[in-house]
Chain A
Amino acid sequence: EVQLVQSGAEVKKPGDSLRISCKGSGYRFTSYWIGWVRQMPGKGLEWMGIIYPGDSDTRYSPSFQGQVTISADKSISTAYLQWSSLKASDTAMYYCARRGEELELDYWGQGSLVTVSS
């Protein structure tokens, strides 16, 4: 069974750094792209970027380029989303999702809630 399990909720202060994770199981992790999606409170879905764990090829949405870093460790089947200096506006739910054979996002993680507040 394909599963994406994300790390738990985080409460951080502005300026803090953070890395959240997404662990894949039940499939060959290195053969499928993993994307990240942001959902701010009460808002819609926003595409952040995508990584191919097989060779770490990464593509960012222009809206998020330079604001976050997407990475992956194929040895432990885990993708990451990280911030070097959080802002209050980073408060949101973050989802990872696998890109399937038809370029669809066929499996999703349960989401990681990030709250940034002083």
Chain B
Amino acid sequence: QSVLTQPPSASGTPGQRVTISCSGSSSNIGSNYVYWYQQLPGTAPKLLIYRNNQRPSGVPDRFSGSKSGTSASLAISGLRSEDEADYYCAAWDDSLYVFGTGTKVTVL
């Protein structure tokens, strides 16, 4: 069902910067905002980024989002062990919410 494509995995050492890409189409990312969610092991997803690049209260500024055309990306700077999780991008596509395929971030 996923129509947003993400790399299956990404990794880095503590302190490094990791970037996750999210590729969509003109009907979703190309014409709507992008959202990012973090899912720590065994827990419910949590909103990380909304409106392409806005952080909810409480989300560290180490997390940043951007969008260009039909693609988006999430950057994690100053990687920390607690950032090890699955990350999903999402966007509205008409009245359908579409999630990305998910990226597992490993802290080496």
Q: Is the CB of A111 within 8 A of B44?
A: yes
Q: From residue A113, how far is it (CB to closest CB) to chain B in Å?
A: 11
Q: Is the CB of B35 within 8 A of A47?
A: no
Counting chain B CB atoms within 10 Å of each CB, which of A35, A45, A63, A103 scores highest? A45
What number of A-B contacts does a CB cutoff of 8 Å give?
62
Nearest B-chain residue to A35, judged by Cβ: B97
Q: Is the CB of A109 within 8 A of B44?
A: yes
Interface size of B by CB at 8 A reads: 26
- Kindly list chain A residues whose C-beta atoms are within 8 Å of the C-beta of B46: 108
Q: Is the CB of A106 within 8 A of B56?
A: yes
Q: From residue B5, how far is it (CB to closest CB) to chain A in Å?
A: 11
**Given known contacts A102-B54, A108-B44, is B102 in contact with A45 (CB within 8 Å)?**
yes
- Kindly list chain B residues whose C-beta atoms are within 8 Å of the C-beta of A50: 95, 97
Q: In the complex, which of the residues B1, B2, B45, B92 contacts A103, with contact meaning CB atoms closer than 8 Å?
A: B92
Q: In the complex, which of the residues B45, B50, B86 contacts A95, with contact meaning CB atoms closer than 8 Å?
A: B45
Q: Is B108 on the interface with A (CB-CB < 8 A)?
A: no
Nearest B-chain residue to A6, judged by Cβ: B44
Q: Is A44 on the interface with B (CB-CB < 8 A)?
A: yes
Bound Cα distance A63, B3 (Å): 13
Q: Is the CB of A44 within 8 A of B95?
A: no
Bound Cα distance A105, B47 (Å): 7
- Kindly list chain A residues whose C-beta atoms are within 8 Å of the C-beta of B101: 44
